[in-house]
Homo-oligomer: A and B are copies of this chain.
Amino acid sequence: MTAKTERIFRDAFAKAGIEVNGNRTWDIQVHDARFYDRVLASGTLGFGESYMDGWWDAERVDELIAKILSGNLEQKVGINPAVIWHYLRARIINLQKRHAFEVGERHYDIGNDLYAAMLGERLVYSCGYWNNATTLDEAQEAKLDLVCRKIGLEKGQHILDIGSGWGSFLRFAAERYDASGTGLTVSRAQKAYADEHRRGLPIETLLQDYHEHEGAYDHVISIGMFEHVGYKNYRSYMEKVHALLKRDGYFLLHTIGGNKSTYGTDPWIEKYIFPNGLVPSIEQIGRAAGDLFSMEDWHNFGPDYDTTLMAWFSNFDTNWDSVKSSYDDRFYRMWKYYLLSSAASFRVRNLQLWQIVFTKVGARERYTAVR
């Protein structure tokens, strides 16, 4: 059985330009022959888990996975590393939740250390903008500034940030544009961090679900949060944003996107992913925004997420020694796989990164997009 399975995999890999135990950077090194049966039995999940267990490796995991994705090995041997994004992201988010709600000081501190080591100065956990940037910190500042410029942010305006993370955007907007802001997060750890680093700026962070929030804002922005809304809630999300936005305000949505609509019906997504966690499509966003908003500008800089993720991995790898006492080798491999497989998905354009500017229908006369 194993020999036959191995032949199937070797053939499929060969068609995608990958040699088992070959000597190129993207060739897969199979260290444990049980690999083949495991992947055959449990597909993508088995592929990722067997990497975490050290059953296979590659000098350039990202390049290997890019070749797997380009070669459509999903159809041939059931491997679709793009889905790993959901799986690992969900595990990471669950870890964050544990940090937050068990108030485990040790985990909490370690978590922030890990993120600080990986994400750079401003602790921004979303795609940077590499148009003119040469470093991760520059790319993240450029992204934050891009959002401010796209909404035409003016002094004194009040912004709502749905999914405000560690508060990076609102601090930037208050520092650079003299704006004020309210951030919403469901993470106690993120709120605590944002409160501690408020620096006297006119910003507040609320531990609150966006559906429960009330108010009227000059602009609403949401960076890297829509991926967790779920397709069943897209319409009510848009309705809520519409209700929270003043008539002439801008709504900027920054989200990962997929080329096709998916609905999370895959059984292992049901098992491992928190409900409704999903990468949206153009179709789904278009339907949800419908008659509420005029879509003024839809900017795709997906390839910049490849660059961002590779920079995160480089930081993580470089700083591993300083945080590894709190983790095990399997965690290192999980995290590496998460970052590099995600980078590959953006590289082959299976995933996109969108910034969309919306106005209320009838509200504005002419929008001039910036880049």
Give me the interface of A with B, judged by CB distance under 8 Å: 70, 131, 259-261, 281-287, 289-291, 293-304, 348-350, 352, 359, 361-371
Cβ of B303 and Cβ of A366 under 8 Å apart? Answer: yes
Cβ of B259 and Cβ of A291 under 8 Å apart? Answer: yes
CB-defined A-B contacts under 8 Å, sample of 13 = A131-B368, A259-B290, A261-B290, A281-B286, A283-B287, A294-B300, A294-B352, A296-B300, A299-B369, A303-B366, A304-B366, A348-B362, A369-B369
Q: How far is the CB of A89 from chain B (nearest CB, A)?
A: 21
Residue from B259, B293, B297, B365 in contact with A298 in the complex, judged by beta carbons closer than 8 Å: B297
Residue from B297, B298, B363 in contact with A295 in the complex, judged by beta carbons closer than 8 Å: B298
Residue of B nearest to A360 (CB): B349
Q: How far is the CB of A319 from chain B (nearest CB, A)?
A: 28
Q: How far is the CB of A296 from chain B (nearest CB, A)?
A: 5
Query: What CA separation (Å) do A291 and B304 show in the bound complex?
Result: 20
Q: How far is the CB of A12 from chain B (nearest CB, A)?
A: 18
7 tightest A-B CB contacts, nearest first? A282-B286, A298-B298, A283-B286, A303-B366, A283-B287, A294-B349, A259-B291
Q: How far is the CB of A109 from chain B (nearest CB, A)?
A: 37
Query: What CA separation (Å) do A369 and B303 show in the bound complex?
Result: 13
Query: What CA separation (Å) do A300 and B357 show in the bound complex?
Result: 10
Chain B contacts for A348, CB-based, 8 A:
362
Chain B contacts for A260, CB-based, 8 A:
290-291
Query: What CA separation (Å) do A304 and B369 show in the bound complex?
Result: 14
Residue from B295, B303, B367 in contact with A282 in the complex, judged by beta carbons closer than 8 Å: B295
Query: What CA separation (Å) do A68 and B286 show in the bound complex?
Result: 26
Query: What CA separation (Å) do A366 and B290 show in the bound complex?
Result: 29
Query: What CA separation (Å) do A32 and B259 show in the bound complex?
Result: 54
Q: How far is the CB of A356 from chain B (nearest CB, A)?
A: 8
Given contacts A286-B281, A297-B298, A297-B300, contact A349 B362 (CB under 8 A): yes
Q: How far is the CB of A27 from chain B (nearest CB, A)?
A: 21
Residue from B259, B301, B366 in contact with A366 in the complex, judged by beta carbons closer than 8 Å: B301
Query: What CA separation (Å) do A369 and B298 show in the bound complex?
Result: 10
Q: How far is the CB of A298 from chain B (nearest CB, A)?
A: 3
Q: How far is the CB of A24 from chain B (nearest CB, A)?
A: 20
Among A261, A287, A352, A370, max chain B CB count under 10 A is at A287
Q: How far is the CB of A234 from chain B (nearest CB, A)?
A: 11
Query: What CA separation (Å) do A238 and B274 show in the bound complex?
Result: 34
Given contacts A259-B290, A299-B297, contact A349 B366 (CB under 8 A): no
Chain B contacts for A284, CB-based, 8 A:
283, 286
Cβ of B287 and Cβ of A261 under 8 Å apart? Answer: yes
Residue of B nearest to A290 (CB): B260
Chain B contacts for A371, CB-based, 8 A:
368-371
Cβ of A289 and Cβ of B298 under 8 Å apart? Answer: no
Among A300, A365, A368, max chain B CB count under 10 A is at A300
Chain B contacts for A285, CB-based, 8 A:
282, 286
Chain B contacts for A349, CB-based, 8 A:
294, 359, 361-364
Question: 14 other contacts beyond A282-B295, A296-B300, A348-B362, with CB at 8 A cut-off?
Answer: A70-B362, A131-B368, A261-B290, A282-B282, A285-B286, A286-B286, A294-B302, A295-B300, A298-B299, A299-B369, A301-B366, A349-B361, A368-B371, A371-B371
